[in-house]
A and B are shown apart, each in its own frame.
Chain A
């Protein structure tokens, strides 16, 4: 249903307005005039009617509304110099770099990501600078951490940095050896802001990372939680191996061989599953955390991203060193890990199947050759006697059967 009143009231005004703004009208080019108005125009609005009646000369002109139409004013378009400006600014910054006083090394939050410290760089100064010593309020402490605590200052526990450094170095050794033995390491940091830390550590150590919620059962119920996620088979040089598609289809999901947890307080379920599955864990233990949840504790401040970035990069570097050593030894022919039982069993069975298939094929081929030889040899025999023909007929029937038994002594008689 068309609302005509609306159309009459609004249509003409809108028409005039739009044409004023709009581009050149095709109608303007027309040779026809509007003088011949054969049919009466139904105008419901008395105001409009009066305007139409009072301006007959306007109606006569060929383009009624184009009289008021003006060409759109063109604003001069400034050329976009953003790219040029940006490049100039970069060049200027580069040229001004050497000008002025020499600025002493200052802390930049990105330093730990640009140049990640390794296990060799762990010093008490670095740990102190990254606030690793700050514990929690004394009221929330876990007494099991008493041996890591240096003292109390302004109501909070101060973690002993000698302990932190020693435990961090020990954890780095653990990570390095696990990486050297081809283990799968998982870095977990599920608090907001820890994503960059765990991804960088995993990138360094060629490991896995987790910065979202740990799905309960990822280890103990992995058949249901992680089915069909892509895996690959690699050899001692970390080159991908072909031919294991069937194995990858039917094998079980992977479990990590070492878990590094930056916030054990929120990941008790994961640590418990690791305990059930005999997976060693490394955790950053603050003064309010239970240190027995993890296998290898690193007493440090787990609320400081700066401290966690240092710890994560140290462990990541350790894993990197372990991987490097593993690949170098593999070049020399030394491999410190064994093929997992699942893969070795599958390989054995697969090899046996292939061997038997080959043997069967070979026997079939030999039999075929023998039969052809027999057929070519027996053709002249076919004409000699009736009995011989019968044997031949039986043989031909047997050819169609799937069973091809070797000739027995009874067949000869």
Chain B
């Protein structure tokens, strides 16, 4: 099998060269737009590099190519030869093109200018942009080298203890891969991030600008640690407003200092909820903190059943109560009033009777 693969690789470069398909300009170039998009693809140079594994081209293949030249091929060859002569004599300047480009359309103009610029340079070679070209991950490896150099250079600057460093949102391995488009190995990324985090510990007063620049590729665009929760206001009537949800119910509650009156959808609590348990649930935020006689609540609830509505109210009232007394947040959290219960009705699946229930099945 390996020998077969080897043979295939050797054969790679001795396929007959695709012939250039050239259309004579008099026929093809009727309009200015048609001239810019000639159906020509130069592919000859693709076999320019020869490995020593390449066998020499068989004679019959060569004959096959030269047997019947396509229409226009001879013109093409002549033209290429003429260009060679031009390039030797006068670095490939095109008096025709320069004279006519001024009169032709603008789309032609740019192409011709570029062409003459290309032709005017007798020396050109290709070099990689990044020195890490052969590592397949040039962007990451360049950043890694920069980070290593910085870590070496600034190893002696005073650092903060780890818990005093301002929290920074770093890119995870997957986010970094997505951002730069290279499949960076987890081990390499972890090694790199060790140095990055060490550099980030440098005391902020002494942090050099180049370190910040070197760490930038590993930071997320948005530092979510800087996010601030929205502050709910108390309006001019002394009300605080909050929304709570549970199952498919949505509750809005306006809480104001008062004497313990509660209206849910315009009805007193006992009318709104038939079950004692639900009544207690609805005002549990006030009851657990012993505030039931100090606030009035006016609430709207919609959607869902009684349990959902009652517990949506719990959340809404707790949030609104926190606006009046922020110090109550922890007690309310311990009482189970702050956290949104994310559970919803599970969807039914095909092949099941309900979400998970399977049809009865007996073997024979």
Min C-beta distance of B70 to chain A, whole Å: 16
State whether the Cβ of B143 lies closer than 8 Å to any Cβ in chain A: no
B293, A39: Cβ atoms closer than 8 Å:
yes
Chain A residues, CB < 8 A from B175: none
Min C-beta distance of B71 to chain A, whole Å: 16
B35, A357: Cβ atoms closer than 8 Å:
yes
The B contact surface, by secondary structure, is helix
B26, A41: Cβ atoms closer than 8 Å:
no
How far does the alpha carbon of A233 sit from the alpha carbon of B257 in the complex, in Å? 76
The closest CB in chain B to the CB of A184 belongs to B127
Min C-beta distance of A376 to chain B, whole Å: 19
Stretch at the interface among A19-27, A284-292, A294-302: A19-27
How far does the alpha carbon of A203 sit from the alpha carbon of B137 in the complex, in Å? 18
Cβ proximity bits B23-62 to A, threshold 8 Å, 1 near / 0 not: 0011011111001101010111110110111000000000
Q: How large is the interface on B (under 10, 10 to 19, 20 to 34, 35 or more residues)?
A: 35 or more
Chain B residues, CB < 8 A from A18: 327, 330-331
Stretch at the interface among B111-119, B215-223, B347-355: B111-119
State whether the Cβ of B123 lies closer than 8 Å to any Cβ in chain A: yes
B30, A404: Cβ atoms closer than 8 Å:
yes
Within 8 A of B (CB), among A194-232: 195-196, 199, 202-203, 207-212, 214-215, 218, 220-221, 225-226, 229-232
Contact A243:B118 (CB < 8 A) given known A64-B290, A361-B104: yes
How far does the alpha carbon of A2 sit from the alpha carbon of B279 in the complex, in Å? 13
Contact A364:B206 (CB < 8 A) given known A226-B134, A345-B48: no
Chain A residues, CB < 8 A from B127: 184, 231-234, 254
Q: How large is the interface on A (under 10, 10 to 19, 20 to 34, 35 or more residues)?
A: 35 or more
Cβ proximity bits A355-383 to B, threshold 8 Å, 1 near / 0 not: 11111111111000000000000000000
Chain A residues, CB < 8 A from B281: 2
Chain A residues, CB < 8 A from B36: 357
The closest CB in chain B to the CB of A41 belongs to B290
Chain A residues, CB < 8 A from B112: 354, 357-358
State whether the Cβ of B126 lies closer than 8 Å to any Cβ in chain A: yes
Min C-beta distance of A269 to chain B, whole Å: 13
State whether the Cβ of A138 lies closer than 8 Å to any Cβ in chain B: no
Min C-beta distance of A335 to chain B, whole Å: 6
Residue in A2, A3, A404 whose CB lies within 8 Å of B311: A2
B325, A229: Cβ atoms closer than 8 Å:
no
A355, B97: Cβ atoms closer than 8 Å:
yes
Min C-beta distance of B273 to chain A, whole Å: 14
A233, B289: Cβ atoms closer than 8 Å:
no
Within 8 A of A (CB), among B178-211: 188, 203, 205-206
How far does the alpha carbon of A83 sit from the alpha carbon of B204 in the complex, in Å? 9
State whether the Cβ of B130 lies closer than 8 Å to any Cβ in chain A: yes
How far does the alpha carbon of A278 sit from the alpha carbon of B123 in the complex, in Å? 24
The closest CB in chain A to the CB of B331 belongs to A15
B126, A7: Cβ atoms closer than 8 Å:
no
B30, A351: Cβ atoms closer than 8 Å:
no
Min C-beta distance of A131 to chain B, whole Å: 22
How far does the alpha carbon of A346 sit from the alpha carbon of B48 in the complex, in Å? 11
How far does the alpha carbon of A27 sit from the alpha carbon of B238 in the complex, in Å? 13
Contact A25:B327 (CB < 8 A) given known A225-B136, A343-B126, A357-B111: yes
Cβ proximity bits B291-314 to A, threshold 8 Å, 1 near / 0 not: 011100000000000000001001
Stretch at the interface among A28-36, A94-102, A117-125, A162-170: A28-36
Chain B residues, CB < 8 A from A2: 281, 284, 311, 314, 335-337
State whether the Cβ of A384 lies closer than 8 Å to any Cβ in chain B: no
A348, B84: Cβ atoms closer than 8 Å:
yes
State whether the Cβ of A82 lies closer than 8 Å to any Cβ in chain B: yes
Stretch at the interface among A144-152, A244-252, A306-314, A388-396: A244-252
Min C-beta distance of A252 to chain B, whole Å: 6
B79, A352: Cβ atoms closer than 8 Å:
yes
Residue in B25, B128, B137, B138 whose CB lies within 8 Å of A356: B25
B residues lining the A interface (CB < 8 Å): 9, 20, 25-26, 28-32, 35-36, 38, 40, 42-46, 48-49, 51-53, 76, 79-80, 83-84, 87, 92, 94, 96-97, 99-101, 103-105, 108, 111-112, 114-119, 121-138, 141, 145, 148-149, 152, 157-158, 188, 203, 205-206, 257, 259-260, 280-281, 284, 287-290, 292-294, 311, 314, 324-328, 330-332, 334-337, 341
Residue contacts A-B, CB under 8 angstroms, 11 given: A15-B328, A85-B158, A196-B148, A212-B135, A230-B128, A232-B126, A236-B123, A340-B126, A357-B112, A358-B97, A363-B26
User: What are the nearest 9 A-B pairs in CB distance?
Assistant: A360-B29, A354-B115, A7-B335, A358-B97, A362-B100, A361-B104, A15-B331, A83-B205, A230-B129
